[in-house]
Amino acid sequence: MRLPTLPPSLLPALTHVMRPLVRLMLKKGVSYTCFANLLKEIFVDVAEHEFRLDDKPSTDSRISLLTGVHRKDVRRLRAKVSERAAILPEDISFGAHLISVWLNHAPFCAAPGRPLPLARLASMGGECSFDSLVARVSKDIRARVVLDEWLRLGIVRMDEQDQVHLEAMAFIPQRGFDEKAAYFQHNLHDHACAAVHNLTEDGAPFFERSVHYDSLSPAGVEQLREAVKVEGMLVLNGFNLLAAELEEQDVPPADARQRITVGLYFYTEPNPPAVTKPTTASSP
């Protein structure tokens, strides 16, 4: 079996990409040994399920050759039950759906992307209430349970008139590490999948573009941050509305359904000037 040639630019790129992930692990107490064992499992799992020949199960020897993991470890890891987690936990998927309805469907919004404050109880607001919003999506979940959780996460707030206001224009918890970690898993995974596809596959690439400057003032950065916050949400809300309409108008058979992720992000950090090496003059 011929192994692919390693592009010289790949390892430096992987090193750079891994730095923020290592920073997260060190901050949260994940040691090198723990992550190395996890990485070994992932290498074996990906090689077994995504690098088969003629769709036949691979041998331990072939997986060992592909991954560099010792054959004894390959055998042990393949015997483990693979835990393939859902893309997003069910409660978060439910919450995202609920907010999509609030943002895009009457009587819960003044116009698409302009959610209205909702009376907490149907006895006060009728159809334009938080009770009715939750009932629109599910008859099995009590609105009070959702409201208490969303107040905890900072997604909504209550006013003096007992109305519920949407604080996050998308389901982005302000508090709650587990909820934020679920979105970290989902968004970073799908961005990485798009980038890896564009590096390794033929055919049409996934859209992946960015704008980057390296000499902005702090005031300029803050102006851009606010512009991305406002205008970026308008763009995402537009895609959200289109996706919701397409999902209702063009229902595919169960075996032909596809999921999508559209993302937008902003990041800034200090950019110190490059260190120039002093020149040395040679004697004539």
Q: Angle, nearest 10°, between helix axes 90-104 and 218-249?
A: 90
The whole-model pTM stands at 0.75
| Identity of the residue numbered 72 | K
Query: By CB neighbour count within 10 A (0-12 exposed, 13-18 middle, 19+ buried), where does 273 fall?
Result: exposed
Residue 193: CA count within 13 A, CB half-sphere:
10
- Tens-digit pLDDT string for the chain (284 aa): 566 788 999 999 999 999 999 999 999 889 999 999 999 999 999 999 999 988 888 999 999 999 999 999 999 999 875 555 556 677 777 888 898 899 888 999 998 888 999 999 999 999 999 999 999 998 889 999 999 989 988 889 999 999 999 986 666 666 678 878 888 999 999 999 999 999 999 989 999 999 999 999 999 999 999 999 889 988 988 898 888 888 888 888 988 999 999 999 999 999 887 655 554 444 43
DSSP 8-state secondary structure symbol assigned to residue 132: H
Yes or no: say if 114 and 105 are a contact pair by the CB < 8 Å rule.
no
- Quick check: helix, strand or coil at residue 275? coil
Cβ neighbours of residue 242 closer than 8 Å, sequence gap 6 or more:
none
pLDDT at res. 189: 95
- φ/ψ of residue 6, rounded to 5: -80, 115
pLDDT at res. 233: 84
